[in-house]
Structures are given as structure tokens and as C-alpha cells.
Amino acid sequence: MSVLRVANASGFYGDRAGAFREILEGGPVDVITGDYLAELTMLILARDRAKDPATGYAKTFLAEMRDSMELAMKKGVKIVVNAGGLNPKGLAAKLRELSSALRVDAKIAHVYGDDLIDRAEELGLAISAGKPLSANAYLGGWGIAAALEAGADIVVTGRVTDASLVVGAAAHHFGWNPTDYDKVAGAMAAGHVIECGTQATGGNYAFFDTIADMHRPGFPIAEIDADGSSVITKHPNTGGAVTKGTVTAQLVYEITGARYGGPDAILRLDSIVLDDDGPDRVRLSGVRGEAPPATLKVSINQLGGYRNEVTFVLTGLDIDKKAALIRSQLAGAVPEGTTWTLARTDREDAATEEEASAMLHCVARGTDPKIVGRAFSNAAVQIGLASYPGFHLTAPPGDAAPYGVYTPGWVAAREVPHTVALPDGTEVSVPPHSETVPSGVALAVVEEPELPPFKAESTTARAPLGRIAAARSGDKGGDANVGVWVERADAWPWLVNTLTVEALRELLPETKTLEIERHVLPNLHAVNFVIRGLLGEGVASNARFDAQAKALGEWLRARHLDIPEEFL
């Protein structure tokens, strides 16, 4: 069958407006997907739903369809998005109203069953603090395939995995069976690359300065073949670039080991082969897949308590003494569990006041909003004339704000309904996968391959790792990942022998007491590290300066070590 061209218009809730029209007008595509549901987004939507049960979906998608539905239907382009969030039925109803108002004949379906909030206790997902705000299982792509088979033009889902948007479209187009694991895994790989939109076309790319036009990167397109292989590309005359580097960056983003598990299959990331296929074209081939685990991951969000923060500006001399004075003055006024962080952004003999200043961050958390709120804020303000010289704050502190806690859970796939509401109003159930393996087997760590030997042909020089290596990092619940790779093959033996877990601990002192896993991906010339617990209780808890670990890789690249001069 013909190649399926799938573009992705959204990598998060709040991505570039007008993206659907931009893709539709830019050139031919068959399907446009949109990924809206980061872990933090689920908490945002849960709070929306708590205020108004009719909401709980990504409202920006409605705006996109108001602008682009007519053009998409005219061109025969299918739309598949997980913008339904916690209320795919409500979003589908709004889309039908919009279709009627625009006088556009759009057949709309929605997929549901992922929302386990009312069964949390029954399924063992309840938490000590009581009923969670949301509990959603990650469904696969076969409900999407069923909706498209029934003639749907627009399919909205709840919490399906990001890659499943592409898997469902490809499985329908090529008539794959659920046990076609290599093909399904190939679509998962393509979906994983394009799921974050312009991150695959140069966005957030370590070597961004090598891309000629980064003003407005184009959106990625996966041209998928019947065997599951694909080519990642973009529309001509759009910004950014598609290279082996930009594709590798996305392949190592927010992963754990060589086995990338999902409800449709397990993708063996260590099997992927990348080849240049022309300008702005990179081919993914050789992808192998395995049967999926018997359990589905569940995203659980709860209210963790209340949070407040104040930042003291410390300028000039005696920074440490000034910080110590503040801490002693507030010792009896801040709630238990308060954290202090001194960011030494100051420079000696600075030419500007800002460059002469350090930041002392004080973050208070607790269950009583009065104690964490005004009582804490007032204590910080009231010492303003009785503390260190040059006392001032970055902004007046305010009231406490609620914060969320993310907890991953697992539930047997057979316990989760997977239902499709078809365009004609009927419903069909998607049966659980016929072949699964125990989760421990499915997610077992792949043993490191024998490492290639390395002997430097020159002396070494002290330099930043980022002079020869790229990186991309992100969040996995309370954990963080950082993938590091080199784009020249002769540097790979040096990287894999040098960047060990012990070396990472030295380069990133913040990780010294944490559990770290290293996974080697030889085909990608990459190593991936999973740092357990770096993000505390997840992104919403805002446990560290870079709460989502998005810049962790750039910090690592800025660290110095001995690098063979032949690579510099």
C-alpha cells in the first residue's frame, strides 16, 4: 500500500497556534496528529474538571479546528489527537457543534476507558491522602484504528500513549495485526520522534547553531511504509532541519532503557538504524518489536499540599554570611520542610549590579495554606529593615498555591476497558492484547554490549563535553533522563568508555546520592542515563530549579573533562 504521511502539529498543551493550518497548507499529508497530554497537563485538566465537569479537555484544539476543520475535510486529511484529556466525550460533542456551525461534514469519534478515577480504590490506585484528582491508564492505538476503520475523520482520545496516535493511524492504513510487533514498533519509533513536534526539526537541539534557519522550525512528518520503516522529514521551505542528529535527540528523549514499553508493543530502541535519505530526510529501519507488558501504566495525580516561595537578592561581598543571617532570622518562622537554595550567580568585581548578585531561594511547603501562605510571606517581608545590607526580594511574596504530586501506577490491561464511540453513535470494545509478557520480563534491562576499545591517538585537553557531544534530557515522573550521543563515529568508543555512572556523578554533583542507571544504544552512538528521584514527586511538585529536567543535558554538556584533542 502507499506510504502513509503523518504530521504532528502539537507537542504539548499550548504549542504553536495555527499549526494545523500551517501543515495543511504546506504540502500533502494523510493524517495530522496532536499530542497534548504531558504529566503536568493531566493535573491542569483535573483541576479544570474539578471546577467544571463539562471541561477537562484541551481547549486550544477547538480553536485549531475552528480555523482548520473545513480545510482538513476538503483535503481528506484525518485528524487524530489525545486532546480529549479527561473528557473526550465532551470534546467530541463540542467538535460536532463546531462542525454543524461551520457546515462541514466531519465524522467524529472518540476513544475512552482510560479514566480510572472512580475505580482507584478498587484497582489499588488509591493513595494515603484519599481519592486522587486523576488516574488515567495509558491506552494503545487499536481504538484509534477501529474509529478510522468506521470512517471517522476526527478521532479524539483520552490518555493514550503519545506514539499510539501514529500506531493507530498506521495500523488502520496498512491493515496490520496486533501481533505484527516489528511493524508496530516501527510506527512507535516514528511516533516517538514526531510526538514533540518541532523538537524533531531542530527545536531544543544541542547543536542548534549548525542549523541555517531556526527562526520558525517546520513541523515533522513521518512517511511510514507497510513494513513499519519510516522516513522523518518536513514540508519544503519551512525552517529548522531534519538530520540524524535531530532525530537521535528525540529518540533518546524521556526514555529509560533499550526496551521502550507501551500498550501496543515493546520497541527495541537498540535495533533502530538511522540513514540519511536526502536533504531533510532521515530513514528509520531495522526496528524490532516484542509483545507488550501485561500491565498498563497509570498516571495518578493528587494534591500534595500548598507551596510558597520567596527569593532574596544578595549583592556584593559576604554572600555566604548574608545567606546565613537570613536563615537564622527566619528559622522559627518558616514551616517544617522548608528548603533553601543559594544560587551563586554573582561575579567578583562585577560591572553591573545584577552580575554582582546571588539568589537565595526559600521554598515552603505544607498542608495548611495559612502557615505556608501569609504567615510565611509576612515573616520574610517584616525583616526587611533588620537584616543584611542591600536587602530586597525579586518580587513580593504572596499567598500559598496548591501543588500536585505525580505517582505512577500499574494495573492489569484486562481490567481497563478500551471503548470507541463511533461516528454513527454506536460503540465497540477493543479487546485486551492477546499476547503479553509479565512486566518484569518486558521492562528487563538489556545487558550492556561489549564496549568497543578506545585508545587516544593524541593528548587530551580540558574542555566542555558539549564541544563534541550532544544531549537531550527530560522528566519521567520523579525521575529524569539524559541521553548523550556523538555525531562522529570515531568518537563513540571514547564516549561509551568515558561517560560512566561514576563519571556522571562527578560531573553532576546533584546526582551523587541518587540511583543512576546507564543504558547503551550503540546504533545511535548514545548512552542514556536514568536518574531516580531527581525530580522528587514529579514536575508539578516543582522540587528543583529545573523542575522538568529540560536543561539537565545542557548543564552536563557545559561540564569540563579531559577530551582527546583529535575530537576537538
Q: Is residue 226 part of a domain?
A: yes
Same domain, yes or no, for 400 and 425?
no
- Cα 283 to Cα 223, 244, 280: the distances in Å are 9, 9, 10
pLDDT at 405: 87
Residue 539: per-residue pLDDT:
81
* Residue 360 domain flag: yes
Question: What CATH number is given to the structural domain containing 360?
Answer: 3.30.70
Same domain, 233 and 99: yes
Is 197 among the domain residues?
Answer: yes
Tell me: do 186 and 320 sit in the same domain. Answer: no
Same structural domain, 498 and 427: no
What cell numbers appear for 390 in the block? 542591600
What lies within 8 Å, CB to CB, of 132 at 6+ separation is 117, 120, 125, 126, 300, 301, 302, 407
- Report the C-alpha gap between 388 and 391 in whole angstroms: 6
Q: How far is CA 129 from CA 347, 400, 444, 451, 536, in A?
A: 45, 19, 32, 47, 17
In a domain, 107, yes or no: yes
Q: Which of 58, 47, 52, 56 is nearest to 17 (CA)?
A: 58
- How many distinct structural domains can be found in the chain? 3
Residue 115's nearest CA partner among 191, 63, 37 is: 37
Per-residue model confidence (pLDDT) at position 127? 64
Cell 510526538 locates to 195
Helix (H) or strand (E) holding 463: strand 460-464
Q: Domain for residue 322, yes or no? A: yes
Query: 515 lies in a domain?
Result: yes
The helix or strand, by DSSP H or E, that contains position 62, with its residue range, turns out to be helix 59-75
Say whether both 238 and 359 belong to one domain.
no
Hey, which residues does 80 pair with through a beta bridge? Answer: 33, 155
* Same-domain pairing of 12 and 77: yes
3-state DSSP assignment of residue 396:
coil
Shared-domain flag, residues 317 and 340: yes
Determine contact, residues 269/526, Cβ cutoff 8 Å.
Answer: no
476 and 427 within one domain = no
Q: Give me the chain's average pLDDT, please.
A: 95
Q: What is the pLDDT of residue 115?
A: 96
- Report if residue 233 sits inside a domain: yes
What pLDDT shows up at residue 443? 77
Residue 552 covered by a domain: yes
DSSP three-state, residue 7: strand
- What does the pLDDT profile of the chain (568 residues) look like in tens digits? 699 999 999 999 999 999 999 999 999 999 999 999 988 899 899 989 989 999 999 999 999 999 999 999 999 999 999 999 999 999 999 999 999 999 999 999 999 999 999 998 888 876 665 678 899 999 999 999 999 999 999 999 999 999 999 999 999 999 999 999 999 999 999 999 999 999 999 999 999 999 999 999 999 999 999 999 999 999 999 999 999 999 999 999 999 999 999 999 999 999 999 999 999 999 999 999 999 999 999 999 988 889 999 999 999 999 999 999 999 999 988 888 899 999 999 999 999 999 999 999 999 999 899 999 999 999 999 999 999 999 999 988 889 998 888 888 999 999 999 999 999 999 999 999 999 999 887 778 888 888 999 987 889 999 999 999 999 999 988 999 999 999 999 999 999 999 999 999 999 999 999 999 999 999 999 999 999 999 988 887 777 888 899 999 999 999 999 999 999 9
One-letter identity of residue 453? P
For strands 154-157 and 108-112, give the pairing: parallel
| Helix locations, 330-421, DSSP H | 369-370, 376-382
d(CA 283, CA 262): 22
482/425 same-domain check = no
Domain that holds residue 106: 4-115+138-255+419-432
pLDDT number for residue 545: 85
- Apex 77 CA angle, 74 and 82, nearest 5: 130
Asked whether residue 424 falls in the same domain as residue 464, the answer is no
Same domain, 46 and 107: yes
Together in a domain, 82 and 199? yes
Per-residue model confidence (pLDDT) at position 33: 98
